[in-house]
Amino acid sequence: MQTLTLTRPDDWHLHLRDGAALAAVLPHTARQFARAIVMPNLKPPVTSVAQAAAYRQRILAALPAGSDFTPLMTLYLTEATPPEEIERAKACGFVHAVKYYPAGATTHSEAGVSDIGKCRAALERMEALGLPLLVHGETADAAVDIFDRERVFIEQVLAPLAQRLPRLRLVLEHVTTREGVEFVESCGPSVAATLTAHHLLYNRNALLAGGVRPHHYCLPVPKREAHRQALVQAAVSGSAKFFLGSDSAPHARGAKEAACGCAGCYTALHALELYAEAFEAAGALDRLEAFASFHGADFYGLPRNTARLTLERAEWRVPQALPYGDDVLVPLRAGETLNWRLKA
Ligand code: DOR
Ligand code: ZN
């Protein structure tokens, strides 16, 4: 196959940041995707509909002229989120989900949730209104091995939550383990998961073997090869429960190449090409369109896109670095060759 034409895809998990960083990264996403679920982990976090409305305006203002990209906004769940804010979110029309960060689990999660029991009223309102909860599924318990944090979180928090609120729409974001896949498959249609390109392509050797590779460091950390294979199987299975969420998470080069480097892989530049590589390696390029363009829209109750785009088999070199405000940003696979390219 030399070209692959797809319905224009959406990115169901994306970090756009703000200010100069936003202006630097947004054109990459807008070129590939029609819509994206925008994470609310700014500083300060986007906890109210009023803040989400202002952030949405800043995103729209930063779009390249002529772009029809639509940001789908989210709220950052805190232990103080009132059920009335959930009602305002559902009513406003531009907030599509609420993000649950266990406090301390990842970048800018300090304002997140330590005790999900304290969010009961907000979650019950979300269940009643059908507003999805997007979950960073890792325990923040420092005593738990970092490679076990997803599994332990599912056992201790997520499975009980799904039992208590069986109609709550849940997305286990950036699932990285076989146990995560099995959990999602064991639940009804109200529970789904996003998969990143980097977790489909890489296991933990890519992070640690032969030297520490900070541009492969993200959270949840990549796991063993058996887990990566389970993720690929889920992605290419055709199950509507699994869809594209790049988790593209830009950090300036100095913040990644540091004694204590930040978590996040930058893939907005070439997300679709990376997913195509992963699907092709699994012999499943014919399954890419549903994963990238149908399942997410269906889960969120939004219309599927109608425009189309084409990937061609053509080698190109990923830039070593990209402008990022006054700084630079190193994309995943910097300096390496990719075999698929999005046609202009
Ligand atoms: O690798 C990650 N980067 N994981 C997250 O959960 C947050 C994200 C970020 O915001 O940089
Ligand atoms: Zn993320």
Which residue has tokens 């201790």?
Answer: 156
Cis peptide before 166 (omega within 30 of 0): no
pLDDT above 90 as % of the chain = 97
Please tell me what DSSP assigns to residue 113: B
Q: Which amino acid is at 167?
A: R
**Cβ 41 under 6 angstroms from ligand 1:** yes
**Counting ligands in written order, which one lies closest to the CA of residue 220?**
1
Residue 107 has pLDDT above 90, yes or no: no
Q: How far apart are CA 192 and CA 172, in angstroms?
A: 6
pLDDT tens figures, 26-79? 999 999 999 999 999 999 999 999 999 999 999 999 999 999 999 999 999 999
What's the pLDDT tens digit per position in 179-200?
999 999 999 999 999 999 999 9
Q: Side chain identity at 337, as an amino acid letter? A: T
Q: Per residue in 254-271, is it b (16+ CB within 10 Å) or e — as a string?
A: eebeeeeebbbbbbbbbb
pLDDT at residue 126 greater than cutoff 90? yes
Pocket lining: 249 vs ligand 1, CB cutoff 6 Å: yes
Find the farthest-apart pair of alpha carbons in the chain and give their distance in angstroms, rounded: 53
Q: Report pLDDT for 344.
A: 83
Residues 176, 4: Cα–Cα separation, whole Å: 27
Q: Report whether pLDDT(1) > 90.
A: no
Write down the pLDDT at residue 302. Answer: 98
pLDDT one-digit tens code per residue, 315-344: 999 999 999 999 999 999 999 999 999 998
Predicted pLDDT at 86: 98
Q: Is the pTM of this model over 0.95?
A: yes
* Alpha carbons 4 and 8: distance in angstroms, whole number: 12
Q: Does residue 106 carry a pLDDT above 90?
A: no
CB 244 within 8 A of CB 192: no
At residue 236, what is the residue type?
A: V
Work out the end-to-end distance of the chain between its first and last CA atoms, rounded to an integer number of angstroms: 19
- What residues does 4 pair with on adjacent strands? 311
**Probe residue for ligand 1, chosen from 138, 207, 219 as the CB with the greatest number of ligand atoms within 8 Å:** 219
Per-domain residue ranges of the chain: 3-342
- Distance CA(216)–CA(325), nearest Å, equals 22
- Closest residue to atom 2 of ligand 1, CA basis: 264
CA angle 341, 23, 303 (to 5 degrees): 65
Q: CA 276, CA 288: separation in Å to the nearest integer? A: 7
Distance 250 CA to ligand 1 centre (A): 9
The fourth-level CATH superfamily of domain 3-342 is Metal-dependent hydrolases (3.20.20.140)
**Residue 94's pLDDT is what?**
98
The pLDDT confidence band at residue 286, using thresholds 50, 70 and 90, is: very high
Query: What is the rounded CA–CA span in Å between residue 140 and residue 34?
Result: 34
